[in-house]
Structure 1
C-alpha cells in the first residue's frame, strides 16, 4: 500500500501526529484497533471480510482527512518562511525526515523547512509546484523514498522505480531552478519489523537510483544515515529508530549533514 496521494488540500487544522502521516497512513491500521481486528477474524469469513473492508475504508477516509489537513497547514507555513528567508538559505525538501529536522537544525544558518510528512516523491512534486521562491536558496537538501517503498506496491518493479525517478526529476526541475546547490539524500534504513509494511530491499535500490539521478543532474549525493545502517540489508542498527521509520534523535541527523551544509 502506497502513501496517500492527495491533489487538493482544503482548509483545516493540523493533527498533532506527524508520525502517523509519515508512517504511510493506511498501513498504520496494523496498530489501530487490534482488538477489533481479532473479533472480526472470529466472524464467518464472508461477513468478516465485508466488515474488514468497511473498517478499512472508514479508517482510510479518516486518515485521508488528517493528511489533507496537515498539508493545508504546512503549505502556508512553508510559503511564509520562503517569503521571509534571506538569500542563500538552506531549503529542506521532502517527507517527514525533512520536516522533523525542525526550523533551525544548522545553528545560525538560515533555513526553510519545506518538509511535508507522509508524502511520496510524486506527492511532494505536486505540492512543491505550488510554492514560490522569492529569493534563491544557497542549498536544497532532498529527502524522499521512505513513502515510495511500501511492500504492497512492488517498489522494486521497473515501472515503480522508473516512476520514482520521474517524480524526483520533477522535484529537481524546481529545486535546481531555485537553489545554487542541490543534494539528494539516501533513503534511510528501516526498523526491524517494518518489512511487513515496507520493502527493505528497496532501500538500497532507491538510494542507488537517487545517486544515479544526482550524478546525471549535476547534484550532490549524501548518506547522512550511514552510521545507522546495519550492513546493506536496508535495516537500522538497534536503538536508532522508532515507529518503524523515524529517528529517535533528529539532532544527530543534523550533525551528520553539517559537512554537506558547510560544503
Structure 2
C-alpha cells in the first residue's frame, strides 16, 4: 500500500470511529431521556428533553393531514405506537417523558397545531405524584387542576374534542417514591378540570388496576409505572372512543 493510500485508510477509519462514537452517545442519551419519567438523569431535565422533542413533534405536525389525532402529555402517550391507527385516523405523537402538568401547560403553546386535529388525547398526572411534592395537599392539587384546565383550553382552540386519560395505576413497589393514594384523587381532579375546560375523561387502564383504583395489578407494569403492554392500552382506548371503529 502506498503512503497516500495508508493515510486515506487511516482517515477513513478515524471518521468511522467518530461516527460510531457519536451514534453510541445519541443512543445512550435517548435511552436516558426515554425513562426520564422514572429516573431523571441529573444532566437531562424533563424541560431539556421537551426542547429536544419539540423539533421532531412540530415536523410531524407540519406534515399531518387535517383530521389526525394528536397524542400529548407524558411518557404514557410517548409510548403509544403511532403505527397503530386510532379510530381509523392518523396519529402524531407529542408525548414528552417526564412531563408534569406545569411543563405541558407551557409546551402546548410551542406546538405547531395548525393542521386541525380531529381530537387531542392528553395523558398527565403520574409525574405530579412524587411523594416529596406532597401531591395530596391543597396547593399542589389546585395547581395541578389549574394547569390541566389551561392546557385543555389551549387544545380546545385547535381541536373540537379533547380526551384526557385517567392517571394510570402505580405498583406498590414504588410506594416510597410515589403517593399511590393520589392516583384516584388526581383522576377525580382531571374530571373537575374537564368540567371547567370542556374535555372528557376516559380510563384505558381499567384492566390494569386493582379494586382500589390506585394500585397496579401484578405483572401489569414493566417498571412499576409504565404498562407492560401499550398495545393493550391502545386497544382499550379504541373500545372507549370509537366502538364502531371510527371517531
TM-score of the superposition, structure 2-length normalised? 0.82
CA deviation map 1:159-198 (0-9, x unaligned): 0000001110121121101111011110000012111111
Q: Are the equivalent residues in 2 in contact too, given 1:101–1:251 (CA < 8 A)?
A: yes
What is the CA-CA distance between 1:70 and the residue it aligns to? 2.9
Partner of 1:155: 135
Partner of 1:236: 216
What is the CA-CA distance between 1:18 and the residue it aligns to? 4.2
| CA RMSD of superposed structures (Å) | 1.9
Structure 2: 5+ residue stretches without partners: 1-24
Structure 1: 5+ residue stretches without partners: 1-11, 26-58
What is the CA-CA distance between 1:216 and the residue it aligns to? 3.1
CA distance in 2, matches of 1:181, 1:249: 26
What is the CA-CA distance between 1:69 and the residue it aligns to? 5.0
Q: Cα–Cα, structure 1 residues 213 and 24, in superposed 2: closer, same or farther, change >3 Å?
A: farther
Q: Are the equivalent residues in 2 in contact too, given 1:99–1:114 (CA < 8 A)?
A: yes
Structure 1 residue 201 corresponds to structure 2 residue 181: yes
Structure 1 residue 258 corresponds to structure 2 residue 238: yes
Greater RCO, 1 or 2 (C-alpha within 8 Å, sep 6+): 1
CA deviation map 1:18-37 (0-9, x unaligned): 44201152xxxxxxxxxxxx
1:93 pairs, out of 57, 72, 76, with 72
CA deviation map 1:13-59 (0-9, x unaligned): 5522344201152xxxxxxxxxxxxxxxxxxxxxxxxxxxxxxxxx6
Q: Cα–Cα, structure 1 residues 69 and 165, in superposed 2: closer, same or farther, change >3 Å?
A: closer
Partner of 1:125: 105
Partner of 2:50: 71
CA distance in 1, matches of 2:106, 2:177: 24
Structure 1 residue 134 corresponds to structure 2 residue 149: no
SS in 2 for 1:129: helix
Say how many residue pairs are matched.
Answer: 216
What is the CA-CA distance between 1:217 and the residue it aligns to? 2.6
CA distance in 2, matches of 1:19, 1:225: 21
Which entry has the higher C-alpha Rg, 1 or 2? 2
Q: Are the equivalent residues in 1 in contact too, given 2:135–2:141 (CA < 8 A)?
A: yes
CA distance in 1, matches of 2:163, 2:85: 16
1:23 pairs, out of 38, 50, 66, with 38
Partner of 2:10: none
SS in 2 for 1:75: helix
With 140-149 and 99-108 compared, the bigger mean Cα shift is at 99-108
Structure 1 residue 146 corresponds to structure 2 residue 126: yes
What is the CA-CA distance between 1:224 and the residue it aligns to? 0.5
TM-score of the superposition, structure 1-length normalised? 0.77
